[in-house]
Structure 1
Amino acid sequence: MATVKVWDPVVRLVHWSLVVAFTLNATIIDDDSSLHVTVGYVVVGLVALRIVWGFIGTRHARFSDFPPDPAAALQQARDMTLGRRTRHLGHSPLGAFMTYNLLITLLLLGATGWIMTLPEATLGHDPEWAEDLHEALFGWAVFSVVIHIAAVIFKSRRTGVNLVRAMVTGKKTHDDS
């Protein structure tokens, strides 16, 4: 096994900052407070930074390193059901889909949250639809986060690569053969 630098400081900082900000807004900060709105803007800013970094960042940070590939994701799921252990240096195909899912969901949460702050006169009607969509997106985000955490634990145990440590240190152990 070799230790390979995979996740750069920007990826790690954005990841853990999103963890903290989302958790605060989801569990501690009152939904109707101005702090909730501010933290929501921070989340959108972090996602925007991650999107920019996905085009100009280091190799494994770039979206071109983990394009959404349904065939590869199905193959990964098939391999898992057959007990095959495949290690991926960067994002796995299923991990890529989760990354895109979470980034898009957080952006949509931010957009619907922003719409809810607009005066009714701006929209010409009651923005209740935005609140309903915001709540649905929040439910989807929580579900996705739970699946993401479970998948990280599962894959870490299955492959012997501690993915949480890798996201803290930036380094993964990888089969060098």
Structure 2
Amino acid sequence: MTASAETETSVGTVRVWDPLVRVFHWSLVLSFVLAWISADEWDDLHIWAGYAAAALIAFRVVWGLLGSRYARFSQFVRAPGAVVSYLKDLLSGREARYLGHNPAGGEMILLLIVSLTALCLTGWMYTLDAFWGEEWVEEVHEALANLLLVLVGLHVAGVALASLKHHENLVRAMVTGRKRAPARGDES
């Protein structure tokens, strides 16, 4: 048994991510990947993947207002100053471990939701007669897709960094819904 497995077993775990958050997350990953892969080749799949992403985002906004504790925006959306302070602490190696999203992770969730919403909106606009063939709509849509690739890369890097720094597999937590129980100094 590894040291982190021993720690997790001896300390215990707590449920953080409810099933709806986890299904949303992995479904959104799948719809984005399908939309990206099908962008130039399979118009129908691309469009339906976009509609799926839009529906998932709409669900997440509702669940962010009404859902379980760690799903709620009120739990993880922080003021810009708190995000900057967390990033400074991260650079100095003294950042706190958060049971839910840390301030930078919360900011990333907002950036992803807003960017995906804009991506879905521009994709939908391109299907309308009023915008069909409008080059600027297609260019904005493609720029947003490329921006999202960067944001996804930063998100994955942030998850990897937090996993390493806090000796906790955050990908597994998004599958099982469970994280290591809070210890002294952790933020809940």
Moved over 6 A (4+): none
User: 2:158 corresponds to which residue?
Assistant: 151
Q: What code does the residue aligned with 2:61 have?
A: I
CA 44–137 in structure 1, closer or farther in 2 if over 3 Å, else same: same
Residues 161 and 174 of structure 1 are in contact (CA less than 8 Å); yes or no, is this contact kept in structure 2? no
Structure 2, gaps ≥5 residues long: 1-10
Decide which of 146, 170, 177 is 2:177's aligned counterpart: 170
Q: Report the 3-state secondary structure (helix = DSSP H, G, I; strand = E; otherwise coil) of the residue aligned with 1:172.
A: strand
Decide which of 113, 129, 132 is 2:136's aligned counterpart: 129
Distance 1:3 1:133 in 2: 43
* 1:1-177 matched pairs, under 5 angstroms: 1-28=11-38, 30=40, 33-119=43-129, 122-123=130-131, 126-177=133-184
Quote the offset at 1:27 in angstroms. Answer: 2.2
Q: What code does the residue aligned with 1:139 have?
A: N
Structure 1, gaps ≥5 residues long: none
| TM value normalised by structure 2 | 0.87
Residues 22 and 43 of structure 1 are in contact (CA less than 8 Å); yes or no, is this contact kept in structure 2? yes
Quote the offset at 1:68 in angstroms. Answer: 3.3
Q: What code does the residue aligned with 1:25 have?
A: A
Quote the offset at 1:24 in angstroms. Answer: 1.3
Distance 2:47 2:66 in 1: 29
Q: CA RMSD in A?
A: 1.5
Distance 1:79 1:115 in 2: 42
| TM value normalised by structure 1 | 0.92
Equivalent pairs counted in the alignment come to: 174
Q: Report the 3-state secondary structure (helix = DSSP H, G, I; strand = E; otherwise coil) of the residue aligned with 2:77.
A: coil
